[in-house]
Structure 1
Amino acid sequence: MKRMYTYAFALSTLALLNSCAENRDADKQKSDLVECAADNAAGFLPTVENNLTRPTTLPEGMVWIPGGTFSMGTAEANESLCEVKGLTTDATPIHQVYVDAFLMDEHEVTNEEFAKFVEATGYKTVAEQVPTKEEFPDAPVEMLVAGSVVFSPPANAVNLNDYMLWWQFVKAADWKHPQGAGSSIEGKENYPVVHIAWEDAMAYAKWAGKRLPTEAEWEFAARGGYCGKRFAWGDEFNPSGKAMANTFQGKFPNNDLAKDGFKGIAPVKQFAKNGYGLYDMAGNVWEWCADWYNHDYYQSLPANEVIKNPVGPAESFDPAEPGMKKKVHRGGSFLCTDQYCSRYVMGTRGKGEWRTGTNHLGFRCVKDVQ
């Protein structure tokens, strides 16, 4: 979604099994090789991790990702979104990508962590800033107020083709006041920080001596060393009936049954970590990546080549909203459901106007290995 929507709303073939033995069970790794061989028809090849020695010491709260070559993208081009098929075609074709080793935050940046940044720098997020007439020349002056977009579930079932029925611009909504004036993050220090625009995430990352992950790094990390799995944890959504991520259960968007234990956003680290020791790589909140979003970027890459450390397209383009500059989102959120948006499926992509935050959008950081 675009920040100006804010006002529109208001206005109307070999894995290296010893690379990460401490993180992933060898029998599962061997099984993965067999399954990847079976998935060759879909385009998946085994993940080949770099044969590197894990650093003996790591920054607090970060995990080591060995990097290597993997199959990026998804074969699920018929994901359903508003009962319209084919909306994951921006994640095809599956292609081979290499990334260097890096460090990654084990969980999404929390309110407590972001508060330390703000206290140290006096930083003001985009949502806290009053928009200017230059930025929104057509908006009435009285509508130029600080705020952000908040999920507001309707009382009854609604037409899923109109997302404005459950999103609302809320005056004074920001990272400190997720639901608007009167709301607070007190007691939610361990929740992901939200209402964060891309430039806000970049500012935090720079202050912390880190950066945002590229889309390729994010997906490599999320896959946890496996290839071709449907989810960050395997092929079953709820293995043995166990919830593996904070998503939406019930009738979307009006009735979240919270079968996973959480209605709305959840604290970090409430579900099992993936093969690399990362939490919440699916669900809870969307996460910003460094890359610009372009719907046909994957199609533009050289065929039959391993793409090394890609940083995304030079500029953004989304044919559905060609005037908007968008950055990539990954991972889905607590609002994802197979009734509407199942972007917790591994390899699928999200997107958002780079100066827009919502209450289901956050981020995590990465750091280069020294």
Structure 2
Amino acid sequence: MSIQHYLLLILMYSIIQVISQGVWYPPSDHMHLSSAPHDVDLTPMVLIETGNFYMGTDSPIFPLDGEGPRRETLVSSFYLDRYETTNLEFVQFVRKTGYVTDAEKFGNSFVMYNLISEELNSQINQSVASAPWWLKVDEANWYQPEGKDSNISIRWHHPVTHVSWTDANAYCHWRHGRLPSEAEWEKASRGGLADRLFPWGNKEMPSGQHYTNIWQGDFPERNTAEDGYIATAPVGQFPANKLGLYDMAGNVWEWVQDDWYIPGSKGPIAANEGVGPDKVMKGGSFACHRDYCYRYRCASRTKNTADSSAVHIGFRCAQDV
């Protein structure tokens, strides 16, 4: 076989693959990420043993979120990442697969107003109507969290953000894993503690110590960052729960497998935009405050469309035993 014939066969095979898999997007320009270390060890996983636990609560703070009722749930053994997936880990995925996130395809993502410059803020004319502190920023994505003038060069060990459910699902499958179910995630979050508000107990700040990265001060006007962080924190900066899992409350919202549903309803509820069922997110984020988004409790939950992304959304992976 001639070299020309061989190259032609490769080209034809590539075209077939593109056609069979739908629209193809060329890899993003990630040349500026070349300073990231290569072949890093992926986050270790923790074995969560088979067992029953009480999921949800009979004292919901946000009843319309489906926080209740409290119900006994059986979860089989599985593995869960000890930490949230980091920028450094996501770099390896992109390098080896050429993956392009939804935020990169859309050309924008959502960022809190206090994380961008006043100049950039003045140029933005689109925000979330019910939450005007969330701004749609052009070119904001996982490697430019606050837009084109930002980068992650000093945030390798921060959780990756601006990842959609679709992106998170793709990464976990690349790792031969999957996203955890909501029941798995909540069982792991509770860490064997029954009927507690938080992964560590009922007090938000035991002995005056910060156990999670959330908004301090007056929301949304002023974040005093008393916990040390105005936005994301490097993973593992706060105490682990009894299972050795970090950041199961605050830092970033975490996608789980489940379509959105209200416990006791017949099934997933279709998204308003008609793009399929919303997906469940757990854990709250650095943008949560007790007086506004008191959703960093174990029973808390919220939803978003599978292609949505923002500066406070991340994930961690699970794996079957």
Question: Is the TM value for this pair above 0.5?
Answer: yes
| Structure 2 SS opposite 1:216 | helix
* Letter of the structure 2 residue corresponding to residue 70 of structure 1: F
* Letter of the structure 2 residue corresponding to residue 95 of structure 1: R
Residue 81 of structure 2 corresponds to: 105
Q: 1:209 aligns with which of 176, 192, 202?
A: 176
Residue 182 of structure 1 corresponds to: 149
| Structure 2 SS opposite 1:300 | coil
Contact 1:74 1:346 survives alignment (8 Å): no
Deviation (angstroms), 1:323? 4.1
Written as runs of structure 1 = structure 2, the 5 A alignment for 1:1-370 is: 61-79=44-62, 86-88=63-65, 90-130=66-106, 146-153=107-114, 163-294=130-261, 296=262, 298-300=263-265, 313=267, 315-317=268-270, 321=272, 323=274, 325-369=277-321
Deviation (angstroms), 1:153? 3.5
| Aligned counterparts of 2:251 and 2:319: Cα–Cα separation in 1 | 23
Deviation (angstroms), 1:300? 3.4
Deviation (angstroms), 1:231? 0.6
| Aligned counterparts of 1:362 and 1:257: Cα–Cα separation in 2 | 23
| Aligned counterparts of 2:61 and 2:182: Cα–Cα separation in 1 | 21
Contact 1:149 1:359 survives alignment (8 Å): yes
* Letter of the structure 2 residue corresponding to residue 117 of structure 1: F
Task: Report the TM-score, using the length of structure 2 for normalisation.
Answer: 0.80
* Letter of the structure 2 residue corresponding to residue 316 of structure 1: I
Contact 2:47 2:79 survives alignment (8 Å): yes
| Aligned counterparts of 2:247 and 2:221: Cα–Cα separation in 1 | 24
Deviation per residue, 1:110-166 (Å, 9 max, x gap): 000000000000000011114xxxxxxxxxxxxxxx1111111399xxxxx954310
Contact 2:83 2:247 survives alignment (8 Å): yes
Residues paired across the two proteins, number: 268
Residue 4 of structure 2 corresponds to: none
Contact 1:78 1:87 survives alignment (8 Å): no
Contact 1:74 1:348 survives alignment (8 Å): no
In structure 1, stretches of 5+ residues that fail to align are: 1-58, 80-85, 131-145, 156-160, 302-312
| Aligned counterparts of 1:162 and 1:148: Cα–Cα separation in 2 | 15
| Aligned counterparts of 1:75 and 1:262: Cα–Cα separation in 2 | 33
| Aligned counterparts of 1:122 and 1:292: Cα–Cα separation in 2 | 27
Seen in structure 2, the aligned counterparts of structure 1 residues 153 and 75 have a Cα distance that, compared at 3 Å, is farther
Contact 2:43 2:82 survives alignment (8 Å): no
Contact 2:168 2:255 survives alignment (8 Å): yes
| Aligned counterparts of 1:231 and 1:289: Cα–Cα separation in 2 | 18
| Aligned counterparts of 2:232 and 2:79: Cα–Cα separation in 1 | 25
Taking every aligned residue pair, what percent have the same amino acid on both sides? 42
| Structure 2 SS opposite 1:168 | strand
Seen in structure 2, the aligned counterparts of structure 1 residues 280 and 266 have a Cα distance that, compared at 3 Å, is same
In structure 2, stretches of 5+ residues that fail to align are: 1-41, 119-127
Contact 1:67 1:100 survives alignment (8 Å): yes
Deviation (angstroms), 1:322? 7.0
Deviation (angstroms), 1:250? 0.3
| Aligned counterparts of 1:265 and 1:152: Cα–Cα separation in 2 | 15
| Aligned counterparts of 1:95 and 1:170: Cα–Cα separation in 2 | 41
| Structure 1 SS opposite 2:151 | coil
| Aligned counterparts of 1:322 and 1:77: Cα–Cα separation in 2 | 27
